[in-house]
Amino acid sequence: MTDAARARRALTVLHRELSACTACPAMIGPVVHGPPVVSRVMLVGQAPGPREGAIGHPFAWTAGKTLFRWFDEALGVPEATFRERVYIAAVARCFPGKASGGGDRKPDAGEISRCRTYLEREVAILAPDLVLAVGQLAIGEVTGQKGKLDALVGRQHRVTWLGRDVDVVALPHPSGASPWHKLEPGKTLLRQALALAEAHPAMRAALA
């Protein structure tokens, strides 16, 4: 069996466990995950929204449309190809429900910690070289840095994440909740971030 076949099988086993997970009482199932794509590039989002559970894959609604449009425009890769070549994960794999003030609730520390066990296993299986962290929660989870997007987006970070040395390109969350990426300096920083992703050898290899 090849290494890729072994990794695919390990991801399939992990996905079976993930799909049966009910560790977080406040989370709303079903668990959402993508296919067992063997890739050195991982994308880490925040958590699925209310529609993804029924559709059955991450970034399946409006935020996903924006995200895949960014990749199509900057990397020249359509959504279907991106999904086949990049492993899509998230800080939490269940819909957290709505926040009292509107918008989706952010996963809490306990939920993030419980769901991190799956990320740890995915990183061990895939040994990624590049991580695309989407949104402030995911950027904080992967880089350990919290702060304004102005300081985090548009440059490449080098971190040790879950035991693996990785390059990280931070991206804003594509949901309509924040206009950051539509205004300056967000527009320019997003363009710079996507150019870094496009030029990264791991991304080039994944899309070749």
Query: What is the contact mask toward ligand SF4 in residues 26 to 65, using x (rule: CB under 6 A)?
Result: -x---x----------------------------------
Compute the distance between CA of residue 176 and CA of residue 80 in angstroms, rounded to an integer: 22
- Examine residue 21 and tell whether it contacts ligand SF4 (CB under 6 A): yes
Compute the distance between CA of residue 126 and CA of residue 128 in angstroms, rounded to an integer: 5
Q: Are 61 and 55 in contact (CB under 8 A)?
A: yes
Of 42, 92, 119, 202, which lies in the binding site for ligand SF4, with binding defined by CB under 6 A? 92
Of 7, 11, 15, 24, which lies in the binding site for ligand SF4, with binding defined by CB under 6 A? 24
For 123-156, b/e burial (b = at least 16 CB within 10 A) is: bebbebbbbbbbbbbbbbbbbeeeeebeebbbee
Compute the distance between CA of residue 107 and CA of residue 91 in angstroms, rounded to an integer: 8
Stretch that binds ligand SF4, among 19-27, 36-44, 152-160, 166-174 (CB under 6 A): 19-27
- Residue 173 CA from chain centroid, whole number: 10
- Examine residue 203 and tell whether it contacts ligand SF4 (CB under 6 A): no
Which of positions 138-177 make contact with ligand SF4 (CB under 6 A)? none
Compute the distance between CA of residue 78 and CA of residue 104 in angstroms, rounded to an integer: 27
Stretch that binds ligand SF4, among 50-58, 64-72, 92-100, 135-143 (CB under 6 A): 92-100
- Examine residue 93 and tell whether it contacts ligand SF4 (CB under 6 A): yes
Residue number, 42 or 94, with CB nearest to ligand SF4:
94
Which of positions 97-126 make contact with ligand SF4 (CB under 6 A)? 111, 114-115
- Examine residue 94 and tell whether it contacts ligand SF4 (CB under 6 A): yes
Compute the distance between CA of residue 1 and CA of residue 89 in angstroms, rounded to an integer: 25
Residues that bind ligand SF4 (CB under 6 A): 18, 21-24, 27, 31, 92-94, 111, 114-115
